[in-house]
Amino acid sequence: MPITEIYIVDGSLEGLLCAVFEWFERKPGKVLLQLEKKYEPDAFAQALTIYNDPAKADRVWKGLNQKLDGSWMRKFYCAFLSELPEAFTHLFEFTCYLFLHGKGAEANFGNEHVLGISQLAKKVEREKHRMEAFIRFKESADGLFYCGIDPHFNVIPLIMKHFKDRYADQKWVIYDLTRHYGIYYDLEKVEEIYFDQEALKKLSKPVTGQLPEKENLYATLWSDYFKSTNILARKNTKLHVQHVPKRYWKYLTEKQGK
Amino acid sequence: MSDRLREKLNILADAAKYDVSCSSSGGKRKNDNKGLGDSHASGICHTYTEDGRCVSLLKILLTNHCIFDCAFCVSRKSNDIERAAFTVEEVVSLTMNFYRRNYIEGLFLSSGIFKNADFTMERLLKVVKKLRLEERFNGYIHLKTIPGASEELLMEAGLYADRMSINLEMPTEAGLKLLAPEKSHVEVFKPLGFVQNQIVKFKEEKKLIKSVPQFVPAGQSTQMVIGATAETDKEIMQTAAAFYKNYSLKRVYYSGYIPISNDNRLPILGTQPPLIRENRLYQTDWLMRFYGFHVNELLNDANPHLDIDVDPKLSWALRNLHFFPVDVNVASYKTILRIPGIGVTSALKIVQARKFGKLRIDQLKKIGVAYNRAKYFISCADTPYQLKDYQNTQIKSFILAESQSKYIKTDTKQLGLF
């Protein structure tokens, strides 16, 4: 089917939902979703900028909630957090498809957008799980545990609860260095925070005073442990790298100096 | 001070590494006391060693002093190695500080037997109690049950540990008697059975009274060393199946024997550990637990050993070609699970998706079916018409020719003629 219109969206969830609303109002046929900052005019299709309207977005969101159960709503959200260009198309087409079909249509894995969303969600959940596994905190002078990350997808909203439940008795900061925001837990609640370059530098450089000794001791002990628990006769580098891809090595205390 | 601690950690982690269990799953301990830690039902592997095994728990022995002399064990009495022992405080502070930095999911604590079983178990219990009660630690704890320890001690340990395990060591009693004359399988059955009964009892009580504490919520597991003695795969898997059935074990681990001594009852030093065999045993284990296979279907008197060149599911399919081809658009979920190249996830997706129309090859591929393998065993909406039936040997050679075994490179030992 030829594309009849291009919808220009701003990349927010609200914008995406408004695009769905817009489509159902006029049903123009096949529509292509493009991000504002990546928009390229097309000679044969008309472009329409989608303006965000909380009321419209809310109606679509409520509709989705009625159609989908919790696990599918999570998949939808995860696919959105992937921030990949194809995610917007999949989400848009998937939502339209859902509203055009009866209950249970999301189980149709033969549909490319249903499959697309579930595959995107899987990728994002894997990255989330890896962050839960590979984040390594360093304790700084004021007893704050810090770790900077640069995940492929925007997973901080997904890992927040995990870390809050787990490290309830220590203050910590997880900072997304590429998306320039982080979360801070102050023993009561988790807050979003933004650092400038100076503050970041201070956090990531080794601290002075009594603490580095303790921090270094545990880092050394952990690296030692990592070595002693390995069985040389079973060396399998391929499997090792498959489980711990090289792009995560920079986080890992046990992989430093290699 | 810290140098001695490093030394101890090196010795006692090294001694514990042959215990392969490292899972941290099945715990549901919640952090409801504002303490440290919260168990993740599916477990998390925080890193992987260079041999590709997961590191989820701080796996250490409390001590490697041992009064036993089991031929297959590094810590055996007669072995001339460095000995060390942690204090209770040392284990607790290592666990807490590693956990705080997100290095680990929890602690796996085992020990050599010093003095006697009860004395050893008491020390293990001290560590666990200090972690739970004084440090408010809610992470995962896997505790070794010391065979021969009193039931009171096991009872108390079960209240604080998430998982408990006793190793069967050798798959058969005869094998165990050969390498560890002082031990017997009965010593393992008794505590396994006791803990299992308590788990059931606590669960029943919890249904009526909510405040009943958890007892070993992640269940029990065991481990067998394979390749040290001459058991067949059939004997190994039948033992495993019996344990899953009789003691509701969560896992049976198979540990390929790594030669560590010059004992003439054992494979000589430098022998390659049986990695492929170990892998095939795990595959069989999975088929039994998640794919509805009975152990006798996979291993029986006619086939006492698993195929090395193909996986056990494919090998079963090749022996039972009358079962195929299966039409994925009508067959039951259980039948689809038996097709080589289709796993649990794909099978579930197929069953859901076919309600919306007959599935085609391209859709199956996208869903995640390993089509090159599955194509000999299935039919779907657009399966090409086939004039001749293939023999199982033909199918096997087609599949082997197309697939790259991950073991081929390391295992071809044939020399050139010139």
The ranges assigned to domains in chain B are 2-298, 312-411
B contacts of A122 (beta carbons < 8 Å): none
Decide if B46 and A133 are in contact by the 8 Å CB cutoff: yes
Cis bond before residue A54 (omega within 30° of 0): no
Decide if B52 and A218 are in contact by the 8 Å CB cutoff: no
For the ranges A189-193, B3-7, B217-221, B409-413, the lowest mean pLDDT is seen at: B409-413
Q: Are B254 and B278 a contacting pair, CB within 8 Å?
A: yes
Quick one: pLDDT band at residue A224, thresholds 50, 70, 90?
Answer: very high
Cα separation, B309 vs B403, in Å, equals 11
pLDDT of residue B377: 93
> Which percentage of chain B shows pLDDT scores above 90?
64
Phi-psi region of A104 (alpha: psi -120 to 50; beta: other; left: phi over 0): left
Cα separation, B176 vs B59, in Å, equals 24
Strands B106-110 and B57-61, how do they pair? parallel
Cα separation, B173 vs B158, in Å, equals 27
* Fold of the domain built from segment(s) B2-298: TIM Barrel (3.20.20)
pLDDT of residue B418: 60
Res. B171: pLDDT tops 60: yes
Cα A34-A40-A43 angle, rounded to 5 deg? 110
Decide if B52 and A236 are in contact by the 8 Å CB cutoff: yes
Structure tokens at A66: 């009625």
Residues B338-384 pLDDT 10s = 999 999 999 999 999 999 999 999 999 999 999 999 999 999 988 88
pLDDT of residue A210: 57
B contacts of A111 (beta carbons < 8 Å): 356
Residues A147-201 pLDDT 10s = 999 999 999 999 999 999 999 999 999 999 999 999 999 999 999 999 888 877 7
Q: For B67-80, what is the mean pLDDT?
A: 90
pLDDT of residue B391: 87
B contacts of A107 (beta carbons < 8 Å): 352-353, 355-356
Q: How many CB pairs under 8 A join A and B?
A: 155
Cα–Cα nearest to B258, from A225, A234, A238: A234
Nearest beta carbon to residue A234 from set B51, B102, B349: B51
pLDDT of residue A117: 95
Q: For B224-251, what is the mean pLDDT?
A: 92
Decide if B355 and A112 are in contact by the 8 Å CB cutoff: no
Structure tokens at B161: 């540990």
What number of CA atoms fall less than 13 Å from residue B380's CA on the CB side? 23
Quick one: pLDDT band at residue A126, thresholds 50, 70, 90?
Answer: very high
Kindly report the length of chain A.
Answer: 258
For B200, other C-beta atoms within 10 Å of its C-beta total 12
Cα separation, A254 vs B256, in Å, equals 26
B contacts of A112 (beta carbons < 8 Å): 366
Nearest beta carbon to residue B31 from set A165, A226, A244: A165
Nearest beta carbon to residue A243 from set B38, B52, B59: B52
State residue B390 phi and psi, 5-degree precision.
Answer: -85, 150
From residue B324, give the alpha-carbon distance in Å to each of A13, B313, B338, B390: 47, 13, 10, 12
Res. B265: pLDDT tops 90: no
Of A43 and B409, the structure prediction assigns the larger pLDDT to: A43
Strand order in the sheet with A181-185: A138-139, A144-149, A171-176, A181-185, A190-193
Decide if A228 and B97 are in contact by the 8 Å CB cutoff: no
ipTM for this prediction: 0.89
Which residue in chain A has the smallest CA separation from B51?
Answer: A235
Decide if B49 and A226 are in contact by the 8 Å CB cutoff: yes
Alpha carbon of A131: minimum distance to chain B alpha carbons (Å): 9
Alpha carbon of A115: minimum distance to chain B alpha carbons (Å): 7
Structure tokens at B3: 């140098």
- Residue B418, helix vs strand vs coil: coil
Q: For B184-199, what is the mean pLDDT?
A: 91
For the ranges A99-108, B56-65, B85-94, the lowest mean pLDDT is seen at: A99-108
Residues A36-70 pLDDT 10s = 888 888 777 888 899 999 999 999 999 999 999 99
Decide if B47 and A134 are in contact by the 8 Å CB cutoff: yes
Nearest beta carbon to residue A218 from set B17, B45, B97: B97
Nearest beta carbon to residue B44 from set A132, A139, A242: A132
Listing DSSP states for A6-21 in one string gives EEEE-SSHHHHHHHHH
Q: Are A192 and A182 a contacting pair, CB within 8 Å?
A: yes
For the ranges A37-41, B64-68, B242-246, the lowest mean pLDDT is seen at: A37-41
Alpha carbon of B318: minimum distance to chain A alpha carbons (Å): 29
Alpha carbon of A93: minimum distance to chain B alpha carbons (Å): 17
For the ranges A125-139, B299-313, B352-366, B397-411, the lowest mean pLDDT is seen at: B397-411
Res. B13: pLDDT tops 80: yes
pLDDT of residue B399: 87
Q: Are B242 and B223 a contacting pair, CB within 8 Å?
A: no
Helix (H) or strand (E) holding A148: strand A144-149
In a 10 Å sphere around its CB, with 0-12 CB exposed, 13-18 middle and 19+ buried, how is residue A244 labelled? buried
Decide if B44 and A167 are in contact by the 8 Å CB cutoff: no
DSSP one-letter code for B50: T
B contacts of A238 (beta carbons < 8 Å): 52, 406
- Residue B63, helix vs strand vs coil: strand
Cβ-proximal residues to B412 (8 Å cutoff; 6+ apart), any chain: none
Alpha carbon of B50: minimum distance to chain A alpha carbons (Å): 5
Alpha carbon of A192: minimum distance to chain B alpha carbons (Å): 21
Alpha carbon of A117: minimum distance to chain B alpha carbons (Å): 12
Res. B20: pLDDT tops 90: no
Pick among A125, A128, A166 to test the B interface (most B CBs inside 10 A): A166
Q: Are A134 and B379 a contacting pair, CB within 8 Å?
A: no
For B117, other C-beta atoms within 10 Å of its C-beta total 18
Res. B414: pLDDT tops 90: no
Pick among A222, A238, A241, A246 to test the B interface (most B CBs inside 10 A): A222
The model's pTM: 0.89
B contacts of A166 (beta carbons < 8 Å): 31, 36-38
B contacts of A132 (beta carbons < 8 Å): 40, 44
Decide if A233 and B45 are in contact by the 8 Å CB cutoff: no
Cα separation, B281 vs A60, in Å, equals 51
Decide if A240 and B49 are in contact by the 8 Å CB cutoff: yes
pLDDT of residue A74: 95
Res. A208: pLDDT tops 80: no
B contacts of A254 (beta carbons < 8 Å): 47
Decide if A230 and B51 are in contact by the 8 Å CB cutoff: yes
